[in-house]
A and B are shown apart, each in its own frame.
Chain A
Amino acid sequence: MSRFHVFVENLKMVPGAFWNSFFRHGPPTTDRTRAETVFHNVFLHIHPARVHRWSLKPALSLGLGVMASASYIILALTGILLMLYYKPSTTLAYESIKDIHFVVPTGRFVRNLHRWGAHLMVITVILHMSRVFFTSSYKSSRQFNWVVGLLLLALTLMLSFTGYLLPWDQVAYWAITICANIAQSPREITDALNITHFFDPGGMAKTILIGGSEVGEDALIRFNMLHCIVLPLALSAVLCVHFWRIRKDGGLARPDDADQELGTPPEGEKPLFTQSPQKTYGLMAFVRGSSPRVGKGPENTLPAWPHLFYAELAIFMITIVITLAISLWMDAPLKELANPLVPENPAKAPWYFLGLQELVSYSAFMGGIGVPLVALLGLFLIPYLDREKTAEGRWFAAPGEKEVTLKSLFFGLTTVILLEAFAITCGWLRSWFPGIPTLIVTLINPGSVLTLLYALWSVHVLRKTGSMRLGAVAIFTCFLAGFLVLTIIAVQFRGPNWDFYWWPSLWPHH
C-alpha cells in the first residue's frame, strides 16, 4: 500500500476518529456507556452517573433549583448580548438603553428577557430555598450545601441590585442612592455614640460601594464591573460547588424507607442496575450517606443519562417558555433620565428589596442592616442547630410539622399585619415623643419588634414541642410570612412620601 493510499485512508477516517477521540465511549445504550457519558464529560460530570428514583420525583423538588439555574443561563447569555450596546457612563448609559429598546434589532426583546429572567431567578431561588427547608433536605451531610445555597441567594440579590442601577433612569438612581445610604447607616449608631469621627464603618462602606459621596460616574463603573464580571464569576463558581455537593451527598435528600415506598420499578423504567452486577462503579465508594449498598438487590437508581437529563431539559424548556411569554407580553420598564436634584416619589427598590425598604422607612440601620443580618444568621444556623434525624426528603414529614407550619403562618401573618396596621395608623415612637433619642428609635422599631416576636414564637414552639426542627419550622414560616406581607405592603400600598394608600389611583397629583 502506497503512502499516499494510507494518507487517503486516514483522511477518510478523520470524522470517525475525531468523534471517538471526542467522546471516548460508545453511544449511551448500555449502563456502562451511559455512566461514561456522564463522567467522561467535564460539564456533565457535575451530575451523578446514576440518580436515585426518589430524586426524580417531580413533587419532591418541583424542579425549582434547575429552574433557577436555567434562568441564570438565560441571564448570562442575554447579558452578554446587552453588553454589546450598553455603555457604562452617566452621559451615555440611559441613551444606550433607549437605543437597545428602540433601535437595536431584537434589542427590546433581549432586554425584556434579561429583566424578567432576573425576576424569575429571584423567585425560584427563594422558592427553592423554601422547598429545601420544608422537605428537611438540609440535614446531616447536606448542612454545608445549605450554606452554599445562602451564599447563592446573596449573590443573586447582589446581581439584581447592581443591575438595577445600570439603566441610569430615575428609579435606578434613587434606589441606589437609598441603598448606598443604607450602607452608610451604621452611622446611626456611631453618631449616637459620638465616635463617627474616629470610627466610621458606614461612611467607608458607602465610599467603597459607590466611590464617592454621591451616586455618579464612579458608582456606575463599579456597579457595571460588579454586575458583568465579579458577581457572575463568583456565582458561577459557587453554583458549581453547589451542584457538585449534591452529587457528593448522594443526590437529593431521601428518607431511609425510600426504597420500600418506591417499590420495584415499573417495567418501562429500564434499564436498571443488574441484579448481580459484573462490576461496580468505583466512584460510588466515596458517596456518603445512604448510598447504594452491596447485597441489597436492585438499587433503585437510574442512569442520569437519559433520565435526569431529560427532566432537566424539560424544566429548562419550561423556564424558557415562561421568560419568552412574559418578554413578548410586557416590556421592561424605563423611567425618565436620572436627575440627582429631584427624587423619584415614591422611589421604590426592586420588589424583592421592598420588604426591607418598608422596614428601612422606620430605621435605616435596623431595616437595612440589622434585620437582614439577623435573618441571614438565623438561616445559616438552622442546619447546625436542628440536628434531629427526622424524615428527610419528604414534605412536612416531622411529627406535628404541618400543624406548626399552619400555626406559624397564622402567627407570622397576624403579627406583621397588626404591627404594620398599628404603625401606619398610630405612628411610631417619634410621633408620640418628638424628642426621643435616635438610638432608641434605631433599637425599637417595627422591624426589630417583628424580629423579636418571631424569635419568641420560635422559642415558644421549641419549649412546647421540645423539637429543634419544629422551632426552625416556626421561625422559617414566620420569616416567609413577614417577607410576603412587607413586600406586598411596600409594592401595593405605599405611595408618595411613603404614605399609605389603598390604591395607586388615590395618590395625590402634583
Chain B
Amino acid sequence: MSEPLDKPVKRRDFLGIAAFGTFLIASATACFGIVRLFLPKVSPELSRRFEIGEPQGFLLNEVKVPVGRSVYVFHDKNGFYAISAKCTHLGCIVSYGPHGFSCPCHGSRFASDGRVVSGSAPKALDWYAISLAPNGQLVVDKGKTVKNGTFFNV
C-alpha cells in the first residue's frame, strides 16, 4: 500500500461505494435465494418406499425384481437384502447374472453383493433398507441406504 491508510475517504466517494456495495449485496442475495427455485422439494417420481410382498412369498436363494423399480431383492440364508440396479458410474441399469452384476453402458462389473470388480464405477451398488410393514408386507426404502452386508430377518 503506497497510500496512507488514514487518508480520509471523501463523503461523496463513500456514499458511492456504499450504494454500489448495497446494490451488489442485494443482487447476490436475490440470486442466491432464487437458486432454490431450481431445486424442487416435491418430485413427480414414484414413491421411494414400496411393498414387495410377504416374507413367506420368497423361496430360499430367490431373486426378485419388483416391476419398474430398478432394484434386486435377494433372500438367502442370512436374510433379505435389496441391491440397487442403478450403476454408480453413470446411472444405467445393471443386469444380474451368475457372476454378479454388469452394466451395459460402460462395462462396469460388480460382485453378487454389489462390490466393484472392474470398470470405472466409483463405488459399490447401494443396499437399500428393508423393513416389515404392519400389514405383513416387506417394504424397500430406496431413500435409505444401508451398509453392505446388512440383512433383514423376519
The residues of A with any CB-CB pair to B shorter than 8 Å are 174, 177-178, 180-182, 185, 187-188, 191-192, 204, 207-208, 211-214, 216-218, 340-343, 345-347, 360-365, 427, 430-431, 434, 438, 441-442, 445, 496-499
Q: Are A341 and B107 in contact (CB under 8 A)?
A: no
Q: Point out the residue from A208, A211, A364, A441 that lies within 8 Å of B90, measured CB to CB.
A: A364
Q: Known: A211-B43, A361-B106. Contact between A191 and B92, CB under 8 A?
A: no
The residues of B with any CB-CB pair to A shorter than 8 Å are 35, 38-40, 43-45, 68, 70, 89-93, 102-107, 116-120, 122-123
Closest-by-CB residue of B relative to A217 is B44
Cα–Cα distance between A204 and B36 once the two chains are bound (Å): 10
Cα–Cα distance between A361 and B105 once the two chains are bound (Å): 8
Chain A positions within 8 Å of B89 at CB level: 181, 364
Q: Are B39 and A207 in contact (CB under 8 A)?
A: yes
**What are 13 A-B pairs with beta-carbon distances under 8 A?**
A178-B92, A208-B38, A211-B43, A213-B45, A341-B68, A347-B105, A360-B106, A361-B106, A430-B120, A445-B120, A497-B104, A497-B105, A497-B106
Closest-by-CB residue of A relative to B69 is A341
Q: Point out the residue from B40, B92, B105 that lies within 8 Å of A218, measured CB to CB.
A: B40
Q: Are A441 and B93 in contact (CB under 8 A)?
A: no
Q: Are B105 and A498 in contact (CB under 8 A)?
A: yes
Q: Are A347 and B91 in contact (CB under 8 A)?
A: no
Q: Are B38 and A343 in contact (CB under 8 A)?
A: no
Q: Are B43 and A427 in contact (CB under 8 A)?
A: no
Chain B positions within 8 Å of A342 at CB level: 93
Given contacts A204-B39, A341-B70, 16 further A-B contacts (CB under 8 A): A174-B105, A178-B105, A180-B91, A181-B91, A212-B40, A212-B43, A213-B43, A340-B70, A342-B93, A343-B92, A345-B104, A346-B104, A346-B105, A430-B118, A445-B120, A497-B104
Q: Are A427 and B104 in contact (CB under 8 A)?
A: no
10 nearest CB pairs, A to B? A345-B104, A361-B106, A181-B90, A181-B91, A212-B43, A343-B92, A438-B122, A497-B107, A208-B38, A178-B90
Cα–Cα distance between A392 and B123 once the two chains are bound (Å): 51
Chain B positions within 8 Å of A434 at CB level: 116-118
Chain B positions within 8 Å of A211 at CB level: 38, 40, 43
Q: Point out the residue from A191, A208, A430 that lies within 8 Å of B123, measured CB to CB.
A: A191
Chain B positions within 8 Å of A178 at CB level: 90-92, 105
Chain B positions within 8 Å of A497 at CB level: 102-107
Interface of B, secondary structure class, is loop
Chain B positions within 8 Å of A341 at CB level: 68, 70, 93
Kindly count the residue-residue contacts between A and B in the assembled complex, taking CB atoms under 8 Å apart. Answer: 99
Chain A positions within 8 Å of B93 at CB level: 341-343
Q: Are A191 and B118 in contact (CB under 8 A)?
A: no
Q: Are B107 and A499 in contact (CB under 8 A)?
A: yes
Among B38, B70, B92, the one with the most A-chain Cβ atoms within 10 Å of its Cβ is B92
Q: Write the nearest CB–CB distance from A504 to chain B, whole angstroms.
A: 16
Q: Are B45 and A214 in contact (CB under 8 A)?
A: yes
Closest-by-CB residue of B relative to A182 is B90
Closest-by-CB residue of B relative to A187 is B122
Q: Are B122 and A188 in contact (CB under 8 A)?
A: yes
Chain B positions within 8 Å of A345 at CB level: 104-105
Cα–Cα distance between A377 and B118 once the two chains are bound (Å): 32
Q: Point out the residue from A174, A207, A346, A430 that lies within 8 Å of B119, measured CB to CB.
A: A430
Cα–Cα distance between A181 and B93 once the two chains are bound (Å): 13
Cα–Cα distance between A174 and B87 once the two chains are bound (Å): 13
Cα–Cα distance between A208 and B35 once the two chains are bound (Å): 9
Q: Are B90 and A177 in contact (CB under 8 A)?
A: yes
Q: Write the nearest CB–CB distance from B145 to chain A, whole angstroms.
A: 12
Q: Point out the residue from A180, A182, A208, A427 that lies within 8 Å of B39, measured CB to CB.
A: A208
Closest-by-CB residue of B relative to A177 is B91
Chain B positions within 8 Å of A217 at CB level: 44
Q: Write the nearest CB–CB distance from B68 to chain A, whole angstroms.
A: 6
Q: Are B104 and A496 in contact (CB under 8 A)?
A: yes
Chain B positions within 8 Å of A218 at CB level: 40, 43-44
Cα–Cα distance between A497 and B93 once the two chains are bound (Å): 12
Cα–Cα distance between A439 and B78 once the two chains are bound (Å): 32
Cα–Cα distance between A343 and B103 once the two chains are bound (Å): 9
Q: Write the nearest CB–CB distance from B133 to chain A, whole angstroms.
A: 23
Cα–Cα distance between A208 and B90 once the two chains are bound (Å): 17
Q: Point out the residue from B44, B91, B104 that lies within 8 Å of A216, measured CB to CB.
A: B44
Chain B positions within 8 Å of A499 at CB level: 107
Chain B positions within 8 Å of A214 at CB level: 45
Closest-by-CB residue of B relative to A366 is B120
Q: Point out the residue from B40, B70, B118 that lies within 8 Å of A427, measured CB to CB.
A: B118
Cα–Cα distance between A445 and B119 once the two chains are bound (Å): 11
Closest-by-CB residue of B relative to A347 is B105
Q: Are A363 and B38 in contact (CB under 8 A)?
A: no
Chain A positions within 8 Å of B103 at CB level: 497
Cα–Cα distance between A197 and B91 once the two chains are bound (Å): 20
Among A182, A191, A496, A497, the one with the most B-chain Cβ atoms within 10 Å of its Cβ is A497
Chain A positions within 8 Å of B70 at CB level: 340-341
Q: Write the nearest CB–CB distance from B132 to chain A, whole angstroms.
A: 26
Chain B positions within 8 Å of A441 at CB level: 120, 122
Cα–Cα distance between A218 and B37 once the two chains are bound (Å): 13
